[in-house]
Amino acid sequence: MRQGLGIRDQELAKQFDGFSGNEGFSPLPNEFFQDLLREIDDLDEIKVTLYALWRVANMEGASHPLFVDDFAHLLDAEELASGLEKCVLRGSLLRVTFDTDAVYFINSPRGRASAETAREGSWIPSKKHFEPPLARPNIYQLYEENIGPLTPLIADTLREAEEEYPPKVIEDAVAKAVKANARKWNYVAAILKRWKEEGYGKKQNRRDDQENRNRYVEGDYADYLD
């Protein structure tokens, strides 16, 4: 039986703070757990496989091409080359080569169709429209960093807001409250309510923006600033 963690193991164990429970989840195909997971015994291959599945799950568009550069921060060049090669040999990834460049696809119906189209030369995948999904702070962290300490009551309120509004909209509302020097959640909630009623992202001129600010500070939402 293992008696304890070594120094290096202890250092690694301290680096992860735990899942927040408020970030999004990326789906993994059942075949990964039923077939692949028990067969893969190489760290480079499992990293490449999981990362590829995550990227594809968060990509838009009809085709989901992956390039070597997409994995560059994950492994060094030698480990990456090894991981990609093992994925291709196993069949989890499909590779299409253009001159000296290579593009990879998940071996799924969509990936197989995209790979075949690319091999035929009727379509050349583009790199420019497939950035990785942005990591956004969860709503609790956003609140603590910009408004104040988290309480159980506030946590419940934030959870409800997170279910009702997209993360980007909440971030923008918090930013607007900070800019107005009104660091109160009720003020943020008032902004969210107005955007829901009048439309998020609606362009306003400077006069309208000032009038809305006065409305918050002096009118309907004045109580929220106490």
Q: How do the pLDDT tens digits run along the chain, 226 residues long?
A: 344 445 545 555 567 777 766 566 778 899 999 999 999 999 999 999 999 999 888 787 778 899 998 888 888 999 999 999 999 999 999 999 987 789 999 999 999 999 999 998 888 887 765 556 656 667 888 888 899 888 888 888 998 998 888 888 998 999 999 999 888 999 999 999 999 888 875 554 444 455 555 555 444 444 443 4
Residue 130 confidence (pLDDT): 55
Q: What are 104's strand-pairing partners?
A: 66, 95
Q: Pick 139-225's CATH classification: 1.10.10, 3.30.460, 3.10.20, 3.30.565.
A: 1.10.10
Residue 23 confidence (pLDDT): 60
172 vs 188: CA distance, rounded Å: 9
CA dist 31 to 28, 34, 39, 40, 112, Å? 8, 5, 11, 13, 16
Residue 79 confidence (pLDDT): 94
169-176 LR contacts (CB < 8 Å, sep 24+): 169/195, 169/200, 170/139, 170/142, 171/136, 171/137, 171/142, 172/200, 174/142, 174/143, 174/146, 174/147, 175/146
Residues of the chain with CATH 1.10.10.10: 24-120
Q: Say which CATH topology domain 24-120 has.
A: Arc Repressor Mutant, subunit A (1.10.10)
> What is this structure's pTM?
0.57
155 vs 148: CA distance, rounded Å: 12
Residue 58 confidence (pLDDT): 79
